[in-house]
Structure 1
């Protein structure tokens, strides 16, 4: 299934107001992990109140010990500070990378903004080297914009 085919399903999940936020976010993670072959771990991290740290939200994939990530640490922590997408074609080449699994080869993180404020991010790990393209970035930006609507 390509990104354009997945967009209506994302919109449908987001609009299911009878479900909790976490249920909807988990459904998004499941949809992506199931339908995009090189998305091997899909999850959301959110700012933990006023603290300078991220807290793991719903995710699909191998369990992780990284449930709290300080701002600036790892790829997710760097995105919390920079407010910009971060595409890592080869995690082994990153000095400030937090390894979740030895099988992970690449990562992409895209922030979620509500009223101009970075409240969290979608984090995707891939076991495929250098799989992410500009199309992935645009698709994940679309998802983050839809997710932001849940919180605004």
Structure 2
């Protein structure tokens, strides 16, 4: 899939200084969730270093009980520690997975860096098995770099 048609829309959303950064991130989540057929849930988590937890700040999709995630727990918590992309083709095959919904089959989590520090991440769940590719990774890295500019 080509994500080139979404980039200008994301740039426009993020450049709207009349909205809070949290509102702009929510709009990015909504755009991604409604525009990419296999992005069923999209959210941004941000780190609280003192508590070693991640906190959900913006999302699109079904509400989740997982608004606070300890570092090391689940896919998101592992990315908070590893600072590396984590693509899960089949969540059932992961021992350290936090089940959000029985419909989730795959997950991709990309760390968000500001000034070289991992401050959060974008998390995407899919109801399809193994939908994510390197193209998704590169696109989401770009999204995170753009989001970092408004933080």
Normalised to the residue count of structure 2, the TM-score between the two structures is 0.97
Unaligned ranges ≥5, structure 2? none
- CA-based RMSD of the aligned residues comes to 1.0
Shift of 1:62: 1.1
> Once the 2 structures are TM-superposed, how far is the Cα of residue 2 of structure 1 from its aligned partner?
3.6
Deviation string, structure 1 residues 64-112 (Cα, Å, up to 9, x no partner): 1111100000000000000000000000000000000000000000011
Quote the residue 1:132 is aligned against: 132
Count of matched residue pairs:
151
Residue in 2 that maps onto 1:8: 8
- Corresponding position of 1:142: 142
Aligned to 1:56: 56
Query: Could you tell me which residue of structure 1 aligns to residue 79 of structure 2?
Result: 79
> Is the helix fraction higher in 1 or 2?
1
SS of structure 2 residue aligned to 1:31 = helix
Segments of 5+ residues of structure 1 without an aligned counterpart are none
For residue 145 of structure 1, give the secondary structure of its aligned residue in structure 2.
helix
Identify the residue that residue 41 of structure 2 maps to in structure 1: 41
1:104 matched to which residue of 2?
Answer: 104
Aligned counterparts of 2:29 and 2:2: Cα–Cα separation in 1:
16
Work out the CA distance in 2 between the residues paired with 1:102 and 1:139: 27
**Which residue does 2:21 correspond to in 1?**
21
- Between the aligned partners of 2:138 and 2:58, the Cα distance in structure 1 is 21
Matches of 2:49 and 2:73, distance apart in 1? 18
Which residue of structure 1 aligns with residue 116 of structure 2? 116
Look up the SS of the partner of 2:149 in the other structure.
helix
CA displacement at 1:49 relative to structure 2: 5.0
